[in-house]
Amino acid sequence: MKNSILLNPFAVLSDKKQTIIGIISLILGILIAHFMDINIQILRIDPTEKVSLLKSFLNLCVCISFLSLAFFGIGKIINKKTRFIDILNTVLLAFIPVYLSLFQNINNFLTNEINQIVEAIANGDIYNMSPPILLLIVGLIGLAFFIYYIYLLFIGFKTATNAKKAWHYVLFFATLIIIDLLTSIIINSI
């Protein structure tokens, strides 16, 4: 059975197509993050009041470069034939669902909802507040995009490195969490 592009784009698309799609999506992701006022990090998005184009660019460059270098390093440990372009394409393509999830903040929807919840917590009114149904729906859609993002990272890494053993997967997820913590410090200091 032929692989579906949604299940494993890394097995279906050529390296060149992956790179082109990845670079185009990166440029669009920078613009979307800027216009939706969201700081992108590896395992979270942070709706803010204003995100400059430079800040969006730097955040994504930090995330993509650190993830690519870290996964390439552990990829070489797993399989000496791991190529950097395969890892870079994995990271670039995996971020596409993240970029799509940024549309949750159209008209600062997420920012406003989060501010209302934070204010209700500060005032002690959180217990009297009914759950915002639209926020719950948007949150579930965002969660689906996040799960797909992690899936693409994992399947791309697995394809690029030919990872098959349990310790390979543990190393992947441990690296993902460590790089998230490291890049969060860097991004929040920019």
pLDDT in tens, 143-163: 999 999 999 999 999 999 999
Q: Average pLDDT, whole number, for the chain?
A: 92
**Could you tell me if residue 166 is inside a domain?**
yes
Pairwise CA distance, residues 26 & 99, whole Å: 9
Beta strands in 41-163 (DSSP E): 45-47
Instruction: Assign 1 a pLDDT band (cuts: 50, 70, 90).
Output: very low
Q: Would you put residue 141 in left (φ > 0), alpha (ψ -120 to 50) or beta?
A: alpha
**Could you tell me if residue 152 is inside a domain?**
yes
pLDDT in tens, 90-101: 999 999 999 999
Instruction: Assign 2 a pLDDT band (cuts: 50, 70, 90).
Output: low
Instruction: Assign 3 a pLDDT band (cuts: 50, 70, 90).
Output: low
Query: Domain limits at 121?
Result: 13-189
Q: Is 49's pLDDT higher than 80?
A: no
**Could you tell me if residue 38 is inside a domain?**
yes
| DSSP for 134-188, written as a single string | HHHHHHHHHHHHHHHHHHHHHHHHHHHHT--SHHHHHHHHHHHHHHHHHHHHHHH
Pairwise CA distance, residues 152 & 146, whole Å: 10
**Could you tell me if residue 2 is inside a domain?**
no
**Could you tell me if residue 169 is inside a domain?**
yes
Number of structural domains found in the chain: 1
Which residue carries 């709706």 as its tokens? 47
pTM beyond 0.85: the answer is: yes
**Could you tell me if residue 5 is inside a domain?**
no
CA dihedral sign, ordered 14, 84, 169, 70: negative
**Could you tell me if residue 158 is inside a domain?**
yes
